[in-house]
Amino acid sequence: MSDTKFINPIDSMSGRLSKKERQGVIFRRKIYRDSQGHIIKKGRNEHFIQVNPRNYEKTPLTPGEQKTVSAFKQALEQYKLDKQNPERMAYWQQRWKAQMRKGDPQAPIDPETGKKRIYGRLDTFIRSMIQISLNT
């Protein structure tokens, strides 16, 4: 994906330029918010063209990919259960806030910085930590 600086209001655009074009340019910018809805961080503007989307009938998931997909599904189900439990959510919020200052010991290494990855969103952090624990 390319990193581009846009002027206002183009910098806030997301999606395809033209819905009719199947291989048109797609724009996106991730915005990370805390539990009160305040913006913590804005991701970079990205644009890309999806040239060869995968055909799952012709090339089904490999066993390794299937294992990763299965672990993600289990992590998502566990996240939904933890979200209903106030004690678990307090635990996760405390751990998430701590990793904002210094990466969580369980987090993978971010290839861009060479340090532990910092998660900007609580839900992503929880799912990732659960998925990592399922894979080990």
**Residue 4, pLDDT score:** 64
Cβ 30 vs Cβ 43: under 8 Å: yes
Phi then psi dihedrals of residue 76, to 5 deg: -65, -40
Structure-block tokens of residue 9? 């209001």
Of 96, 115, 127, 110, which is closest to residue 34 (Cα–Cα)? 96
**Residue 34, pLDDT score:** 73
More confident residue, 25 or 105: 105
Confidence band of 59 (pLDDT split at 50, 70, 90): very high
- CA 83: distance to chain centroid? 18
Q: Which residues pair with 116 in a beta bridge?
A: 109
**Residue 1, pLDDT score:** 52
- Confidence (pTM): 0.68
Q: For residue 129, with 0-12 CB atoms within 10 Å meaning exposed, 13-18 middle and 19 or more buried, which class applies? A: buried
Q: What's the average model confidence in pLDDT over 78-90?
A: 94
Question: In percent, how much of the chain has pLDDT > 70?
Answer: 94
More confident residue, 12 or 102: 102
Q: Does residue 30 have a pLDDT over 80?
A: yes
Scanning the structure block, which residue is given the tokens 């990919």? 65
**How do the domains of the chain map onto residue ranges?**
2-49, 63-135
**Residue 2, pLDDT score:** 55
The pLDDT tens digits for 115-127 are 999 988 888 999 9
